[in-house]
Structure 1
Amino acid sequence: MSVAFLKEESAETASETLLPPREISPHANLVTETGLKALETALADARAAWQAAQDIEDVNERRRQQAIPLRDIRYYSERIASAQLMPPPADPDVIAFGSSVTFRREDGRVETYRIVGEDEADPKSGTISYVSPIARLLIGKGEGDVVVMAGKEIEIEAVG
């Protein structure tokens, strides 16, 4: 549709309100219960932000303010629809989706991470995605096992 029919100030203003969609991972959307709740909260927050922008009188500013929430609504709706809620690990001694694992690197650093879904992963907060290279190496292993990543040994100290 031509910009002339939309009451936009310019083509530039119109393009500011058409954000590309957020990228959807090709991997299965496995989630923990916490991860699913976080997706639902993010969707509710995006809907609230979109609704709040409805009250803006200036049509161009309203569209600018609604662009990100609208994109997020589409993303989180799709992620919730495709979510596969995973049960807690069946065997507490074997690393699986949802497990916490503590390991020691060759240089002596000890790290602990919980293996979660992609949207929930935040290494700074102690969670890593199940599709991350380190998680792929660790899944199926247990305490005392050693894996090699980038030529360096990693020893699993605890599984929880």
Structure 2
Amino acid sequence: MSVAFRRESDDEHMEPKFELPIPPGPNWVTMRGLRLTREKVEALESVDVAAMDEEAAKKHKRELRYWRTRLATAELRPVADGETVAFGTRVTYRLNSQEKTVAIVGDDEADPHDGRISFSSPLARAMMDAEVGEKLDFAGKVEALEIVGIVAVDEA
């Protein structure tokens, strides 16, 4: 029989399902980030997937695999000393004449609306190792960013 008359399965036309992407680089976490990751895994493990339809169960299992991987690879970072901008510090900075404060945290803990940015973000990378009063180049502008204050964050 010719291949032209072969019925293809419906699965061949469905969009492929991929694993949730793991951010590149180390999986640094604060105490708070480690706690949140553990809570996420526990919450996902407590769900009865047998009661879900097949697609919802696949999606749930994919999310659980992501969070188990993140928990297994989590690297708890020591509390920063607060002398320089580092992972786990809260930084007050001035950019474009506006003063803002952000905490530098892990990728999964980042929430810019809550003032938490990932250590791998361009802003955090630009500020790393800076001291209070230091002016830094940012977004192609010379001395666009000034470090106003640094506080070590020890959140559980």
* TM-score range normalised by the length of the shorter chain: 0.7 to 0.9
Q: TM-score if structure 2 supplies the norm length?
A: 0.82
Find the counterpart in structure 2 of residue 40 from structure 1. Answer: 38
SS in 2 for 1:103: strand
Instruction: Give the fraction of aligned pairs with identical amino acids, expressed as a percent.
Output: 32
- Aligned-residue Cα RMSD (Å) equals 2.0
Question: How far apart, in 2, do the equivalents of 1:24 and 1:66 lie?
Answer: 20
Distance 1:141 1:45 in 2: 38
- The DSSP-based 3-state class of the residue aligned with 2:92 is strand
Query: 1:54 corresponds to which residue?
Result: 50
- Among 125, 134, 156, the residue aligned to 2:147: 156
Q: Which runs of 5+ in 2 are unaligned?
A: 1-8, 152-156
Structure 1 residue 159: deviation in Å? 0.3
Q: How does 1:22-101 map to 2 (within 5 A)?
A: 22-49=20-47, 51=48, 53-56=49-52, 62-89=53-80, 91-101=81-91
The letter for the 2-side match of 1:144 is G
Q: How do 1:102-141 and structure 2 match up within 5 A?
A: 102-105=92-95, 107-141=96-130
Unaligned runs of 5+ in 1: 1-9, 57-61
| Deviation, structure 1 residue 67 | 1.8
Shift of 1:65: 2.1
Please give the alpha-carbon distance, in whole angstroms, between the structure 2 residues aligned to 1:69 and 1:44.
Answer: 13
**After the TM superposition, which parts of structure 1 deviate over 6 Å for at least 4 consecutive aligned residues?**
none
Q: Secondary structure at the match of 2:103?
A: strand
Aligned mates of 2:40, 2:34 — CA distance in 1: 10
Alpha-carbon spacing, 1:122–1:140, altered in 2? closer, same or farther (3 Å): same
Question: How many positions carry a matched residue from both structures?
Answer: 141
Per the normalisation by structure 1, the TM-score is 0.80
